[in-house]
Chain A
Amino acid sequence: MSGRGGRGGRGRGGPMANGRRAVAQNSVPWAMDSDIVLDGKPSELFPPYNLPKAPLLSKKEDKQVSYFLLFREQCQDSALYTQARSWTQASGGTARTYGQDQVNRRYGQVTKATVDPFTAVPTYSHRFKTVPRTLPDLGSRPFAKEFFPPELHATLEGEDEPPAAAAAAAAKRRRVGPKTLGLSNITSYKTAEELFLPEVAQQKGVGGDANLDKALQLLNSMEKRNEDGDEEAFLSGEDDDDWVKGNGDDDEDAAADEDDQYEDESGDDYNAEAYFDGNQDDEDGDEGGDEGGDFF
């Protein structure tokens, strides 16, 4: 709109333009203000920029940051933490997204395109890798259920399974004994200072114990897993929670080369045959919802 107006004005020309020029001649800054010194030089392309530098951390701030980082570490260690970002700048993803679909595709996707060919070949050290969780493990800890809306109660019990996997998982899922709220056993966050000054740690007479302690911790965690009864899972390195297993079953017939890590749908979203089915379920949820138990 404005562009058009501008063109029109120029086109008309004549007295209008003259009048404008008269105004313009008097109202440019150097006409209004005779002291102004104009330099016609072009501005420097990269002018020196005085970057303000933050002062060093005070002792109190240092403590605050350490506490925050420790807290974050514990959070990320907890059963409720989920992180399955498949999007990276390196893998050719763009920062810009158009629509929710594209946003969703950034998470939890393992496809041939996202796999790094240099590290994807199975090696021994892969068993030490932690598999990122895509859904929180809600079944492992107790909740104060009365403060959750009723539709979430089944989820809190860890009973929110896709119907196919539910039966298979049901037997396995039943945990014996009461659920306990696990407290994080991560109690230290390595600070950069500590990393830089390992000698100090040695001097203080605990450096030698560090390895021993680590080993002990590892042993403890092994024992704990033994008690839980998924020793094999730990040893074989694949953390096959119930839902992953369900996913595997689904995938066999799907024969999809695109493997969604979100097990419940397992790429069915993008499977044309299953597409309408899935959608219908959704609609059911919208309208009736009383059969909330059996959709997904």
Chain B
Amino acid sequence: MLVTKSVAELCALLIDELHGELPSRIFAILLSKGRSTLPQLAQYTSMTPRQLRHGLAVLQQHNLLFYHVDSGAEFAAYEANADHAYNLARTGKILEMIDSSFGAPAKDVMQSLLLSGQTRISDLVAAYQVKIEHANKAAAAIGDDHDFGAETNGVNGDLHPAKKAGALVKSTAHLNSIICRLVEAELIDVVHTKTFESHQDVLKTVEKEVMDKHFPAGIKGNKAKIELQERIAEGLRKVRGESKSLKRKLEQNGTAAKRRKLFAGIGMANGVHEEDMDPALDPRQVIRVNYEKCLVDLRNRRLVHFATDMLGDTTAYVYGVLLKLLTRDLPRCRPDAVMDAGEEAKEESEKGPGPVTTEQILDSLKTSVDLSLGIGKAERRLVSSTAAEKIELYPPKKKVLIEEAEVDGEASADEEESDNNNNSSEESDYESDYKAPATNGTNGVNGTNGAKVKFDESAAPKERRLDRPTQLRQHLLILSESTQRFVRHCGPNEWTVDFTPLMNSLRETELDSVIERTAGRQGLRLVRILRAKGKLDEKALPNVALMRKPELQQKMMEMQTAGFVHVQEVPRDLKADVKKSFFLWFCDVDRSLDRLLDTSYQTMVHCIQVLEALRQKERDVLETTKRSDVRGREKDTMRKEYYERYSRFLECERKLFAQVMRVDDLVSVLRDF
């Protein structure tokens, strides 16, 4: 896998920070030299094979490697897994996400799993057993008079978490149930024999298998080629599906949600019942963290944040619930090009997330949330309900002529069901031009009348206080009407999200904010003009932008160096005279985004390097704090100025890592979501 220099540096630094120097050195070499075997590595690094073996073992344990052993070969070929290495920077986010959506005990388990890499379930259980026993013993030894203390701990959380952590996971049954929950959410998956093969290796093996099995005579003709592609995709999906075996097994027993529904009222209050109902996991299974699914959840959070910025809290909350329902079975943010190719052709529903109905959202909303907030009130006649309630059956970017006609046909049929008053010509007009009813007065009224029938069916007769489903519907309509297209109204009372265009608009928003920060509002304005007009001649730009020429040129130069706008020289004749040629300004969003991504990596690298420099500067202090008699009691044992220096260092460290995480927000939007 190829990565840029800054990514390679970043990965090495992150591994150095978390797993130590030896694996980091090996990882850096693996990234720069590519796939290598042990003797090759020894040659590249001039480290001893023993060191290398230890380092490789650590990397492998933390899922940072791919390896492949050819049959008959003596040495395995190792390859760096740069994605997972980069994901180390996201650890804090993932843990926080788990903490807020699954609770502190689950976070504890997840942390242990991240800490120890891939782990056999029995080992994990044993480790927790030791810990639990230890905690119990400590609790018993401390006795009753400390019960009070323990209680206050519970309240103030972080200050005294030693005991709290002991009590986090109460029993092995509890642990079991936590693992089950996480497996069901796909945040944990099973390690199988193919997990550590790189994508190319898996592809090659599957290809070979398919060729041997189905095409022993070779491929002839287009039809066979397509079939080959399909079979390969199928094989790859099968390999990929293996990691979900544990989830499938759990599903056979019925998921937690189902059971909760079945036993509602019996064991709802105390979780103990639920724990008992979870099936015991096979202790021989080896589990690890599934970053792909973690990213899906992180994307949901990012989108909710985006919606909060654009629309408001309550609407964003509704959106969060919708996303959670929608992405429950979505395994990754971006579909794999090879693997999902066949899938797309086979069943449409598998490709995009399926629709979610209003009732489903209503069921999973918390009753404490007041939905009446965040909805504006407008006069009935000012709102064009037909336009607002417009149903789009297909994602926007699909522009195939025949299909479009089909959309029209179906939509009008739909419309026919809901209101029979309108004649079909008017409808097709409204369908073809979205804006028409809103601008045209009579038409708008007409539309309102038409939809009123439907609206009144669901809404309460009282106009002032809308009931909960209607309010929810309003929120969803706001989401689908927004310029960012948060939600698509894909059927009567059905909603879905088209992630690709939505993420593109989010990316553009991020780019705009970066431009605004670096080049000011004028710069952003110029970029927007260029985006609207396409390529603009240098001489025409001042007129369009209504700016003075020198100022404009300076601004454009500034933005060109930052990589937000680009210039193209078009000679008028063969001589390519500079004076006579055109200079066209344009802005290429993709190129700017790539540039931005690279700058982000460099920023992250820089942050960690600064931290290292700080460490060198405060070396004497840090060495003291590492001593076993000082650690944890820095305040009491250290001299005042030393202590102050230490706390200043800690603060800087926090800020630097926070910066890394913020930049990672940007990177994940640009690259992963």
B-binding residues in A (CB < 8 A): 26-27, 32-33, 35-37, 52, 54, 57, 60-72, 74-76, 78, 80-85, 88-90, 100-101, 103-104, 107, 125, 128-130, 133-136, 138, 141-144, 146-152, 155-156, 160, 162, 178, 180-185, 187-188, 190-192, 194-196, 198, 201, 204-206, 209-211, 213-214, 216-218, 220, 262, 264-265, 282, 285-286, 289-290, 295-296
Contact = CB atoms under 8 A, between A and B. Distances in A.
B492 interface: no
B96 interface: yes
Nearest to B138: A216
A190 B578 CA distance: 63
B61 A80 contact: yes
A130 B628 contact: yes
A128 B627 contact: yes
A64 B116 contact: no
B60 interface: yes
A146 B156 CA distance: 44
Nearest to B625: A190
A129 B159 contact: no
A52 B516 CA distance: 13
A195 B659 CA distance: 21
B159 A181 contact: no
Given A136-B54, A194-B159, A89 B659 contact: no
A27 B579 contact: yes
Interface string B71-107: 0001110000000000000011101100100000001
Contacts of A150: 69, 76
Interface string B187-202: 0000101011000000
A289 B75 contact: yes
Contacts of B38: 151, 285
A135 B54 contact: yes
Nearest to B156: A204
Contacts of B45: 100, 104
Given A90-B619, A128-B629, A64 B650 contact: no
B51 interface: yes
Nearest to B633: A214
A106 B47 CA distance: 12
10 contacts: A35-B550, A57-B654, A65-B657, A68-B95, A81-B19, A100-B46, A107-B25, A138-B54, A152-B53, A183-B127
A217 B162 contact: yes
Contacts of A80: 19-20, 58, 61-62
Contacts of A264: 48, 50-51
A96 to B, nearest CB: 14
Cβ-closest 10 pairs across A and B: A68-B92, A149-B76, A82-B20, A192-B651, A64-B92, A181-B127, A67-B95, A128-B627, A195-B647, A155-B53
Contact of B39 (A72, A101, A125, A286): A286
Q: Most chain-B Cβ atoms within 10 A of its Cβ — which of A82, A104, A141, A148?
A: A82
Nearest to A61: B658
B195 A54 contact: no
B285 to A, nearest CB: 9
B417 interface: no
A81 B626 CA distance: 15
B123 interface: yes
A286 B75 CA distance: 10
A216 B626 CA distance: 19
B316 interface: no
B661 to A, nearest CB: 6
B627 A90 contact: no
B4 to A, nearest CB: 21
B509 interface: no
Interface in B40-67: 42, 44-51, 53-58, 60-62, 67
Interface string B608-626: 0000010010010001001
Contacts of A104: 45-47
A183 B130 CA distance: 9
Contact of B161 (A187, A192, A296): A187
Contacts of B646: 195
B511 to A, nearest CB: 17
B411 to A, nearest CB: 41
Contacts of B46: 100-101, 104
Contact of A204 (B118, B152, B651, B654): B152
Contacts of A64: 92-93, 95-96, 658, 661
Interface string B623-643: 100111110111110000001
B629 to A, nearest CB: 4
Q: Most chain-A Cβ atoms within 10 A of its Cβ — which of B128, B630, B647?
A: B647
Interface of B: 17-23, 25, 38-39, 42, 44-51, 53-58, 60-62, 67, 69, 74-76, 91-93, 95-96, 99, 107, 111-112, 114-116, 118-120, 123-124, 126-128, 130-131, 134, 138, 146, 149, 152-153, 156, 158-162, 164-165, 191, 193, 195-196, 286, 517, 548-550, 578-579, 613, 616, 619, 623, 626-630, 632-636, 643, 646-648, 650-651, 653-655, 657-659, 661-662
Nearest to B632: A214
A165 B333 CA distance: 51
Contacts of B92: 64-69, 71
A190 B634 contact: yes
Contacts of B75: 151, 289
A138 B56 CA distance: 11
Contact of A198 (B93, B111, B616, B635): B635
Contact of B120 (A142, A206, A210, A289): A142
A209 B149 contact: yes
Contacts of A210: 160, 632-633
A199 to B, nearest CB: 11
A213 B160 contact: yes
A205 B57 contact: no
Contacts of B636: 211
A36 B61 contact: no
Contacts of B648: 192
A74 B662 CA distance: 23
Contacts of B613: 89
Contacts of B130: 180, 183
Given A144-B119, A285-B42, A82 B21 contact: yes
Given A54-B659, A71-B111, A129-B623, 20 more contacts: A27-B578, A66-B158, A71-B18, A71-B91, A71-B92, A74-B115, A130-B627, A134-B22, A146-B193, A147-B60, A180-B130, A181-B124, A187-B165, A205-B149, A206-B159, A209-B160, A210-B633, A262-B51, A289-B75, A296-B48
A135 B51 contact: yes
Contact of A183 (B58, B131, B191, B662): B131
Contacts of A213: 160, 162
B21 A144 contact: no
Given A152-B57, A194-B159, A75 B650 contact: no
Q: Most chain-B Cβ atoms within 10 A of its Cβ — which of A80, A100, A107, A201?
A: A80
Contacts of A89: 613, 616
B22 A136 contact: yes
Contacts of A262: 48, 51
